[in-house]
Structure 1
Amino acid sequence: MTDKPSTGRCPVMHGANTAVGSDVMEWWPNALNLDILHQHDRKTNPMGADFDYRAEVRKLDFDALKADVRALMTESQAWWPADWGHYGGLMIRMAWHAAGSYRVADGRGGAATGNQRFAPINSWPDNGNLDKARRLLWPIKKKYGNRLSWADLIILAGNVAYESMGFRTFGFSFGREDIWHPEKDTYWGSEKEWLATSDKPGSRYDEQRNPESLEDPLAAVMMGLIYVNPEGPDGQPDPLETAKDVRMTFSRMAMNDEETVALTIGGHTVGKCHGNGDAANLGPAPEAAEIEEQGLGWNNHVTRGVGRDAVTSGLEGAWTTHPTRWDHEYLEMLFGHEWQVVQSPAGANQWQPVDIREEDMPVDVEDPSIRRMPMMTDADMAMKVDPGFRAIAEEFRQDPDRLDDAFARAWFKLIHRDMGPKERYIGPEAPTEDLIWQDPVPAGPTAYNVEAVKQRIADSGLGIGDLVTTAWDSARTFRQSDKRGGANGARIRLAPQKDWAANEPERLARVLGVLEPIAADSGASLADVIVLAGNVGIEQAAKAAGHDRVVPFQPGRGDASEEMTDADSFRWLEPLSDAYRNFLKKDYTVPAEELMLDRTQLMGLTAPEMTVLVGGMRGLGTNHGGTRDGVFTDREGQLTNDFFVNLTDMDNRWVPTGHNRYEIRDRQTDDVKWTATRVDLVFGSNAVLRSYAEVYAQDDNPAKFVDDFIAAWNKVMNADRFDR
């Protein structure tokens, strides 16, 4: 007897790992998704736990690298020919779109991680054909290997491109470390289609499409764009309305009007738009392309599709007469002509001069004997018709040197905004000037008696709750996304932080009134004393629970001044919720536990670290306003695992009593034992979080709980330290 041959049955479920909707958790759409806390799991990183990119990049031959990047600019490749024989415009657009995804509301996006290599960003319509720019850079990345991240190379290519075309940049810093997995949990909007107009489901605007109503934390006007629609709002030319979009979008990127105008001018002084063909002939984006495309997208296998026939945005033409050199032609072109709306060969709305001399027209990208019509986008026309933008543009037109300086600084800010303080800058071209958007902090003292300060704090009369709360409030503003916030600088004593509702201004002023003299008398910075105060409180609470522990501490934090603080920019760091202190500024449509995950991820904490910190702080008297929600203990002020023990105790039952309000009742007597919120009970309801809670509730893990709490606490207190 012989086995029958296979009938071709597939050994795995079709699409099990790749099909849209294949996630089994989609059966339960309301389940809390913790994936954002594991966004950059070490298992996705091929470099190994001991790899230190910041050490490796310092080994670079910086001059040789720049020479190679500069040479690349004019080494045109037949498979993707350079416009006018120069890749500068393409490389600048690549760097711009990498950096331009940054948003100040939560610090996410930006260029500091090389996330442009992955979906969804690598396949956004606005990033069409930037895959070609990165592939052109591959020989350089291959040559310099581990010493050069993609994140640094992408931005360096844009910077060198400007220099190769005659512009003097403000400088450049290395130090961006690559990620190795898509940031699929970052919120880019709720639309279900690319470039959906504002009347479609999931719009990020109100019904009137008021630019001011643009949904937080978003900056772009629609799904798949970096900034605004170049054709106009929802694709309809209207420069005055586009000006409103431009102003809102760039402010969400932490840019003021002058920086916005400078960036628009400088970005459109070089390069061109591509729309000389039929967009219907383009293949799918990289993430949807067939395997033989090898990671490239938008390929045209119907017509020529490269050089003068390329289609990217759909708009067609250059802004200036000489698009491969830095000059001041853009404003002369914009203000020196009247403009009318026309359609590109690809059918996109753009602006064309009513009358122009042939010698003022740019030449064809492949044949210099042919002149082509210049164009402007609706955003360019906004620089001319909006009174505020126009006034700035006219000043730049009268003073080109001022424009050069303004653009150099704005461009530098754009490509470095998410790198954090300049102490993180690496390389010979990193500027030494302090810039206010870098949130500068002076070096702090270290030659003081730490133990004497701790004793002063212990004898101050401040309670454990006050000590721990003040340190936490100072440190919790840190965002790993753009390295802003944190305890260093003691900005909690300055506007706007001292007045935030989350910081309980009256309580904060009382505590700082005690800690400030201790700092002054001891020679320590207030920033150090605040952190030490939290450590003292935790050590006291641990000892009261029977555990002698010393919380690690490293001195050297400095105290920032008001002059070093951009108060308007810091308003974006205000905590509108803080599950660790059971705080909500108001009721939000997003559940409190989702807000907890967002803040936790920004702080750089893992799910286990979040769990142990929430459970520990509940018993330390740190709840906002002194509420008793989640304080599942009769031993407040002691660092115990009571929160987890009582949360998982099946002698209790859990009863909703109102919006975000619950009671924990004894099953036998029905007596109310404790009250709770959603962020308390989620550690018992969510299967993953409950598994962590059960670990800390075990009879053999009180000491582990204390040690894990201290480790997580120390991580928060030092997250913003770049001198370690």
Structure 2
Amino acid sequence: MASSAPRLARLGALLARQGAPATSLLSSQGLRAFSEKAGAETTAAAAAATASTGEAKSKIRGFQALLFGGLGAGFLYGYSLFTSQVPESGPLAGPPALLTSKPSTPGDYDAVRKSIAGVLDNGDYDDGSYGPVLVRLAWHASGTYAKKDGSGGSNGATMRFAPECEWGANAGLAVARKLLEPVKAAHPWISYADLWTLAGVVAIEEMGGPTIPWRAGRSDAPDGSKIVPDGRLPDAKQGAKHLRDVFGRMGFDDKDIVALSGAHTLGRCHTDRSGFSGPWTNAPTTFSNLYFQELLNNKWVVKKWDGPLQYEDAKSQSLMMLPSDLALLSDRTFKKYVTQYAKDEEAFFKDFAVAFSKLLELGVPFPAAKAA
């Protein structure tokens, strides 16, 4: 459950927008004054009732019931604001509040990093972290690039528009985009394209992964006219040839393919998104080489269920692999790198950092470096 501080911040913002003083519900002095005033008024009304007819007494009792009933309902409502989950829709819905003392200065990417790190942990989401879904957002925003014509890639942040935001491969990424809205509001000078890619970098680093080289310079497209055709992102149902086709289109080699596949050490699949279900490892919020160890050392059998073809470990039946994962074992060249990374985490971290940084920069028109 989220801490009370973000809830108080969200409540304060809501009251401010509605023109109501936040202290009306939060100040004990205000509550005491209101109660004393109400008590005085009730006493006066009761005195008048003594000298009046039975009908007047009935009216006074009705007033008292209305007064204290309203007070009780108000207190219950105020209490519910602090103790219940924020609804998915309605006046209190929205991204988590981001507490900042003042707006950041344009170009202060350290401030943006801190803001991103501040929204990662949430005990109510998946395994307790939004980190994996932010990595997926950065990946899918960048993985549409085609080296042949320079189309696609992270520049433009075109997933803000339909139909790209509605692609099956991007199902569930609205969670990540919504999560980053308060970060964008706190740092309005950063482009969505830079924010999404930086969020993936920060998530990896915060979850124990390598430092990823990242630089700013992406711009946002004004509309969806530059959206590329659907089908450029990897299909988990496919094998080695498909992986080489998809990653080769972007300019990656076999080592890059295996290194980038190592991002599956994070997160899990969801039946309402990809159709698949379950985590690849028992530590889905820690960036490590555990994915390669599980892939190489477990016996994988076909999962018996009503969903698409996927595999589960024969021993615990708690972990899963996709057809595209097992393709890394069936292909001799791919398996060579799987074996290397399973044994040498440092080598994996080094190669992943290079490949992921390259992925995030595909198609971005960075200014040419000045000659020394």
Query: Normalised by the size of structure 1, how large is the TM-score?
Result: 0.36
Q: Show CA shifts across 1:248-294 (max 9, x none).
A: 211111100101110001x101111101xxxxxxxxxxxxxxxxxxx
Distance 1:130 1:340 in 2: 29
Structure 1 SS opposite 2:250: coil
User: 1:600-679 maps to which residues of 2 (within 5 A)?
Assistant: none
Distance 2:105 2:177 in 1: 23
1:274 is aligned to 270
**8 Å CA contact 2:139, 2:360 repeated in 1:** yes
1:249 corresponds to which of 246, 250, 263: 246
Q: What is the CA-CA distance between 1:60 and the residue it aligns to?
A: 3.0
2:157 is aligned to 114
1:125 is aligned to 168
User: 1:183-332 maps to which residues of 2 (within 5 A)?
Assistant: 183=225, 188=229, 223-224=230-231, 226-227=233-234, 229-232=235-238, 242-265=239-262, 267-275=263-271, 311-332=272-293
1:403 corresponds to which of 324, 334, 348: 348
User: 1:154-165 maps to which residues of 2 (within 5 A)?
Assistant: 154-165=196-207
1:382 corresponds to which of 322, 327, 351: 327
Distance 1:270 1:154 in 2: 17
1:60 corresponds to which of 102, 107, 122: 107
With over 3 angstroms needed to count, the CA separation of the structure-2 counterparts of 1:254 and 1:135, relative to structure 1, is: same
Q: Show CA shifts across 1:391-446 (max 9, x none).
A: 1221222322111100000000000122245x46xxxxxxxxxxxxxxxx7729xx
Query: Normalised by the size of structure 2, how large is the TM-score?
Result: 0.68
Q: What percentage of aligned pairs have identical amino acids? A: 33
Q: Show CA shifts across 1:199-249 (max 9, x none).
A: xxxxxxxxxxxxxxxxxxxxxxxx44611x2123xxxxxxxxx10111121
2:193 is aligned to 151
Distance 2:349 2:105 in 1: 30
Q: What is the CA-CA distance between 1:58 and the residue it aligns to?
A: 7.8
1:180 is aligned to 222
Q: What is the CA-CA distance between 1:339 and the residue it aligns to?
A: 1.0
Q: What is the CA-CA distance between 1:85 and the residue it aligns to?
A: 1.4
With over 3 angstroms needed to count, the CA separation of the structure-2 counterparts of 1:187 and 1:150, relative to structure 1, is: closer
User: 1:410-421 maps to which residues of 2 (within 5 A)?
Assistant: 410-421=355-366
Distance 2:132 2:150 in 1: 27
Distance 1:131 1:264 in 2: 22
Structure 2 SS opposite 1:85: coil
**8 Å CA contact 1:339, 1:352 repeated in 2:** yes
Q: What is the CA-CA distance between 1:316 and the residue it aligns to?
A: 0.3
1:71 corresponds to which of 118, 132, 143: 118
Residue identity in the other structure for 2:285: T
Q: Which runs of 5+ in 1 are unaligned?
A: 1-56, 189-222, 233-241, 276-310, 357-371, 425-440, 445-724
2:20 is aligned to none
Residue identity in the other structure for 1:329: L
Distance 2:288 2:329 in 1: 19
Q: Give the root-mean-square deviation of aligned CA atoms.
A: 2.0
**8 Å CA contact 1:314, 1:344 repeated in 2:** no
With over 3 angstroms needed to count, the CA separation of the structure-2 counterparts of 1:344 and 1:181, relative to structure 1, is: farther
Distance 1:134 1:86 in 2: 15
2:371 is aligned to 443
Q: Show CA shifts across 1:490-542 (max 9, x none).
A: xxxxxxxxxxxxxxxxxxxxxxxxxxxxxxxxxxxxxxxxxxxxxxxxxxxxx
**8 Å CA contact 1:124, 1:225 repeated in 2:** no
Instruction: Return the structure number with greater helix share.
Output: 2
With over 3 angstroms needed to count, the CA separation of the structure-2 counterparts of 1:413 and 1:99, relative to structure 1, is: same
**8 Å CA contact 1:125, 1:224 repeated in 2:** no
Q: What is the CA-CA distance between 1:75 and the residue it aligns to?
A: 4.0
Q: What is the CA-CA distance between 1:108 and the residue it aligns to?
A: 0.7
Residue identity in the other structure for 2:270: H
Q: Is residue 142 of structure 1 aligned with residue 102 of structure 2?
A: no
With over 3 angstroms needed to count, the CA separation of the structure-2 counterparts of 1:93 and 1:334, relative to structure 1, is: same
Q: What is the CA-CA distance between 1:110 and the residue it aligns to?
A: 0.7
2:19 is aligned to none
| Greater length-normalized contact order (CA 8 Å, ≥ 6 residues apart) | 2
Distance 2:305 2:320 in 1: 10
**8 Å CA contact 2:288, 2:345 repeated in 1:** no
Misfit runs of 4+, over 6 Å: none
- In the alignment of these two chains, the number of paired residues is 269
Structure 1 SS opposite 2:180: helix
2:299 corresponds to which of 338, 357, 360: 338
Q: Is residue 82 of structure 1 aligned with residue 125 of structure 2?
A: yes
Residue identity in the other structure for 2:314: V
Q: What is the CA-CA distance between 1:344 and the residue it aligns to?
A: 5.2
Q: What is the CA-CA distance between 1:59 and the residue it aligns to?
A: 2.1
Structure 2 SS opposite 1:395: helix
Q: Is residue 350 of structure 1 aligned with residue 310 of structure 2?
A: yes
